[in-house]
Structure 1
Amino acid sequence: MARLHEHQGKSLLAGEKIGIPRGEAVRTPSEAKKIAEELGCEVVVKGQAWVTGRASLGLIKFADSPETAADAASSILGKEVGGFEIDTVLVEEKLNVKQEFYAGVIIDDIAQAPRIIFSAKGGSGVEQIASEHPDALAQTIVNIQTGFPDYYARDLVRQVGIHGKLQLALGLLLSRLYLVARNSDARAAEINPIVLTEDGKLIAADCRITVDDYAVFRHPRLEIEVAREFDRPPTELERIAWDVEKGDYRGTFYFIQMEQDFKRGDKVIGFHGAGGGGSMMSMDAILNKGYKIANFVDTSGNPPASKVYRAARIILAQGPIDGYFASGSGVASQEQFHSARGLAKAFLEVPLNVPAVIRL
């Protein structure tokens, strides 16, 4: 999956006429000051990063003037959190909160359909809400052929005891959130919290949207660089690996770096798997022997030799690994042949100068 930043997700919400706070994403303190001046009210400055608990990490600050907004942006920009160097902040009007709700559209892999979740309480995680306030939460599976019209949504809202005009407004918002998820090929689209303001407006104060990686090509305007669910910006090698994978649907090539800045003798192994289950068992075996794993790679589903070759070259380009471990479940003879051919070509070119275990 590919995660969107908050400001990107809010642009999708606004496209379906879901209310969002007035504001703009900026990259400098002077731009933050300018937006705060234009808004003419107290603002909140929010660092854009794929992490939870941003307030506790110092990435969300309130400001009562353009000058303090610039100071807040200055203190957030350049900060390193969870592998991110914050380069963008979202400057928005501060909302007058009367009540908070939660809404989410999540693909249920067991039901093989979207699941809509709504809660009369928002702000905290939906798991915590379900545990502490089960009566405040309602959910339903959506038939994708009929969709999720507002009268279905109103019934869901009614189940948690909300009636009248607020039920109508929340039902409309829920049906629009479903359209956001459907039209953007989202695996998950959540608004937490939905804020009911003192003047009666429903506003998406924060959101989290992840797009199915195999659908990213349909959404160039989202400017998704690498369609993987990282909790940090992609590395240079991860970008190269994605360039190999994104236009070639013959088999799978999945690459994630797990160790960096290591040296020879640190017991770091380059890992090359084929098939998720077998790969996990092999990685466990390596870790149980006291080694570290430089990366996770999966080339499976009958990939061509060229894809396996490029995967091997990328693994070997990570740095001074102490070994190369390839293990998988190439059940088809042609898959074993193409994998062996790709590995042999890579090992001859680099060349391979560390111990290797190759188990196809």
Structure 2
Amino acid sequence: MKLHEYQAKQIFADAGIPVPDSRLATSVAEVEAAVEEIGFPAAIKAQVHVGGRGKAGGIKIASDAEEASQYADEILGMDLKGYTVDRVLVEAGVDFVNELYVGITMDRGEGKPVAMVSTEGGVDIESVAEETPEAIAREHIDPAFGLHPFQARKVVYEAGIPREVAGDVASILTTLYDLYESRDASEIEINPVMITSDDDVVAADAVMNIDDDALFRQPDLAELEEETFSDDLEKKANEYGFDYVRLSGNVGIIGNGAGLVMTTLDLVDYYGGEPANFLDIGGGAKAERVTHALDMVFSDPNVDAVVFNIFGGITRGDEVAKGINEALEGFDEIPKKVVVRLAGTNAKEGMEILNTDLVEVEETLEAAVQRAVQNAQEVDA
């Protein structure tokens, strides 16, 4: 479960991490009232679960009331990478001289949490990790003992953080790990931590993702779940009980099992396409669940073609075929071309049931993915 920036910042503030004065607003009038209290300059920040909000026009700095009203009107209601902005965080501007990155995540290769610190704050940390990995200092953490103070100091100094603020940055890192552990987070970061000319450190952004399977231990965070959805697709996925992640491409993907779906995503990319989503319908999926999955993918305006990849174990191919037929027969016109690949339990029976007037059928996964990518490219042509 992803928290919005304003939600994560409240948790950070409660834990003692310095954050700018801010107000949440859902209308231009509320933005105008907020900047009157906060003063200028003020940042108007879209609250959606996407990166690169600033480059996409979702963050603006207002220097006066007129600009604040103008930016609020531009951002509220805008489509930001497929998400409709329905709320903004109005935040006091920070006069900074430097930007840093600090974060905690799980290093699955090592099987341990890892603390990361970099002087390359304010930019996409994934790009930094890929292009200049030496710019990120790392320290693995034994979960049995937690992040020791000397480890926090060590990784901060290895990152080249100036001595004047190193102690405060190490303190923030320690607090982040405490939150990571106590709040069952899967990822927690600040990008950037802003350094002022007076050597104050301020969390200018906040990312905090919570392990869904641990929400029963975090009842106060579980109450925020509905508020974290940024669009109807995420709400629909939650209602249907799907593992769903929206991506930036145009090839819709449906499969049963996380590994199978990930393989399909990789093949779409390999054959020159761009995946639009990760959608795992799970094992033992009945016709109704398959119908819901197609409803999800068809509801995404970015999707131009769909590939359905099912390997039957618990899931029966004939049940999947029934679901596909039921879903598609309800349309006067099929909104997107659907390519189906069935294998495993009752796959032969499923292939016989499929209405080939409604779907395209391929025997192999590679062929199914290539056809779906081609279908999507033809739409874009």
Instruction: Give the alignment of 1:106-145 within 5 angstroms.
Output: 106-129=105-128, 136-145=135-144
| Partner residue in 2 for 1:308 | 286
Q: CA deviation at 1:61?
A: 1.7
Cα deviation digits, residues 4-26 of structure 1 (max 9, x gap): 22212211211211010011111
Q: Is 2:348 the partner of 1:359?
A: no
Distance 1:31 1:278, change over 3 A: closer
Secondary structure at the residue paired with 2:286?
Answer: helix
2:32 aligned with 1:46: no
Match of 1:275 among 245, 250, 257: 257
User: Which residue of the other structure, out of 230, 235, 239, is the alignment partner of 1:239?
Assistant: 235
Cα 1:340–1:77 shift into 2, 3 Å: same
Separation (CA, whole Å) in 2 of partners of 1:272 and 1:83: 19
Q: State the shift of 1:115 in Å.
A: 0.8
Give the equivalent residue in structure 2 for 1:249.
Answer: none
Q: Distance in 2 between matches of 1:299 and 1:126?
A: 31
Aligned partner of residue 86 in structure 2, secondary structure: coil
* Matched position secondary structure for 1:46: strand
Q: Which amino acid aligns with 2:280?
A: D
Whole-angstrom CA distance in 1 between matches of 2:156 and 2:286:
50
Give the structure 1 partner of residue 76 of structure 2.
77
Structure 1 Cα separation of the partners of residues 83 and 14 of structure 2: 28
Query: Does the CA contact (< 8 Å) of 1:279 and 1:327 recur in 2?
Result: no
Q: What's the offset of the Cα at 1:255? A: 4.8
Partner residue, 2:310: 327
With the length of structure 2 as denominator, give the TM-score of the two structures: 0.71
Partners of 1:7 and 1:297 in 2: CA distance: 28
How has the CA–CA distance of structure 1 residues 288 and 20 changed in structure 2, closer, same or farther, with 3 Å as cutoff? closer
Distance of aligned partners of 1:92 and 1:314 in 2 relative to their CA distance in 1, 3 Å threshold = same
Residues 163-193 of structure 1, C-alpha deviations (whole Å, 9 max, x = no match)? 6552221111110011222233222211111
The 5 Å alignment of 1:292-307 reads: 297-300=279-282, 303=283, 305=284, 307=285
Question: Paired residue for 1:198?
Answer: 197
Which residue is equivalent to 1:98?
A: 97
Q: Name the structure, 1 or 2, with higher relative contact order (CA <8 Å, separation 6+).
A: 1
Give 2:184's aligned residue.
Answer: 185
Q: Report deviation, 1:68.
A: 2.9
AA aligned opposite 2:238: W
Q: Which runs of 5+ in 1 are unaligned?
A: 246-252, 263-267
- Could you say which residue in structure 1 is the equivalent of 2:54? 55
| Alpha carbons 1:279, 1:328 under 8 Å: kept | no
Between Structure 1 and Structure 2, the one with more helix by share is 2
- Paired with 2:158 and 2:179, the residues of 1 have a C-alpha distance of 23
- The number of aligned residues is 330
Residue 94 of structure 1 deviates from its aligned partner by 1.0
- 1:312–1:20 Cα change, 3 Å: same
Take 2:47 and 2:290, find their aligned partners in 1: how far apart are those partners? 34
- The answer (yes or no) to whether the contact 2:97–2:195 under 8 Å persists in 1 is yes
Match status 1:7 vs 2:6 = yes
Query: In structure 2, the residue corresponding to 1:115 is in which secondary structure?
Result: strand
In structure 1, C-alpha distance between the alignment counterparts of 2:93 and 2:267, rounded to whole Å? 51
2:153 equivalent to 1:154? yes
Specify the code of the residue in structure 2 equivalent to 1:314: H
Give me the identity figure in percent: 30
Paired AA for residue 30 in structure 1: A
TM-score for both structures, normalised by structure 1: 0.75
1:280 is displaced (CA, Å) by 5.4
Equivalent residue, structure 1, for 2:208 = 209
Cα pair 2:246 2:277 within 8 Å, conserved: yes
Report the Cα distance in structure 1 between the residues aligned to 2:129 and 2:245, rounded to whole angstroms: 33
Counterpart-to-counterpart distance in 2, 1:310 and 1:226: 27
Match in the other structure for 1:224: 225
Contact kept? 2:99, 2:119, Cα under 8 Å: yes
CA distance in 2, matches of 1:98, 1:292: 39
Q: Check conservation: 1:16, 1:179, Cα contact below 8 A.
A: no
Bigger shift: residues 140-149 or 69-78? 69-78
Structure 1 window deviating more from structure 2 (308-317 vs 12-21): it is: 308-317
* Most deviating of 282-291 and 189-198: 282-291
Counterpart of 1:250 in structure 2 is: none
Code of the aligned partner of 1:74: D
Matches of 1:294 and 1:151 in 2, distance apart?
A: 44
Counterpart Cα distance in 1 of 2:326 and 2:48: 39
Query: Does structure 2 retain, via aligned residues, the 8 Å contact 1:194–1:206?
Result: yes
How far does the alpha carbon of each residue in 1:221-244 deviate from its partner, in whole angstroms, 9 at most, with x for none? 3412399xx9x6242xx5344234
CA contact (8 A) 2:281 2:293 kept: no
SS at 1:193's partner residue? strand
- Classify 1:45/1:297 alpha carbon distance in 2 versus 1 (closer, same or farther; 3 Å): closer
Letter in 1 for 2:80: V
Distance 1:254 1:311, change over 3 A: farther
Query: Relative to structure 1, is the Cα distance of residues 92 and 280 closer, same or farther in structure 2, using a 3 angstrom cutoff?
Result: closer
Amino acid aligned to 1:20: V
